[in-house]
Copies of this chain bind each other. A is one copy, B any other.
Amino acid sequence: MNGADALIETLIDNEVTACFANPGTSEMQFVSALDRQPKMRPVLCLFEGVATGAADGYGRIAGKPACTLLHLGPGYGNGLANLHNARRAFTPIVNVIGDHATYHRQYDAPLASDIAAIAGANSVWVKSAESPDDVGALAAEAVGASYGPPGGSASLILPADCAWSPASARGPKAVRRPKATVAGDTVDAAARMIRAAVKPVILLGTTACGEAALAAAGRIAATGVRVITDGFIARLPRGAGRFAPDRMQYFAEAALADLAGVDLMVMVESRPPVAFFAYPDRPSLLVPEGCETFALAAREEDGVAALAALAHALGAPAAPHVQALSLPGAAPTGALTPASAGLSIARHLPEGAIVSDDSVTSGGGAASATRTGRPHDWLGLTGGAIGQGIPVAVGAAVAAAGRKVVSLNGDGAAMYTAQGIWTLAREQLDVTVVIFANHSYRILGIELGRTGAGNPGPAASSLLSLSEPAINWVSYAKGLGVPGVRCETAEAFDTAFARSMAEPGPKLIEAVVP
Contacts and interface: CB of A to CB of B under 8 A. Distances in A.
B32 A160 contact: no
Interface in A443-498: 443-444, 447-448, 451-454, 456-460, 462-466, 468-481
Given A49-B78, A415-B47, A284 B479 contact: no
Interface in A404-458: 412, 415-416, 418-419, 422, 425-426, 443-444, 447-448, 451-454, 456-458
A280 interface: yes
B471 A110 contact: no
A164 B280 contact: yes
A425 B426 CA distance: 29
A26 to B, nearest CB: 6
B469 A476 contact: no
Nearest to A284: B104
Interface stretch (A145-153, A168-176, A377-385): A377-385
Contacts of A256: none
A56 interface: no
A349 to B, nearest CB: 26
A445 to B, nearest CB: 10
Contacts of A453: 28-29, 31-32, 164
Nearest to A417: B47
Contact of A25 (B271, B277, B456, B476): B277
A278 B448 contact: no
Interface residues of A, number: 105
Contact of A448 (B28, B232, B275, B415): B28
Interface of A: 21, 23-26, 28-29, 31-32, 34-35, 38, 40, 42, 44, 46-47, 49, 73-75, 77-78, 80-81, 84-85, 87-88, 100-101, 103-104, 107-111, 113-114, 117-118, 120-122, 160-161, 164, 231-232, 271-272, 274-278, 280, 284-285, 382-385, 387, 412, 415-416, 418-419, 422, 425-426, 443-444, 447-448, 451-454, 456-460, 462-466, 468-481
Given A29-B453, A32-B453, 7 more contacts: A31-B463, A35-B460, A47-B416, A77-B77, A77-B84, A100-B278, A160-B277
19 contacts: A23-B444, A31-B463, A46-B416, A47-B387, A73-B84, A74-B84, A77-B80, A78-B80, A100-B277, A107-B284, A107-B285, A110-B383, A110-B384, A111-B383, A118-B121, A164-B280, A415-B419, A415-B422, A476-B476
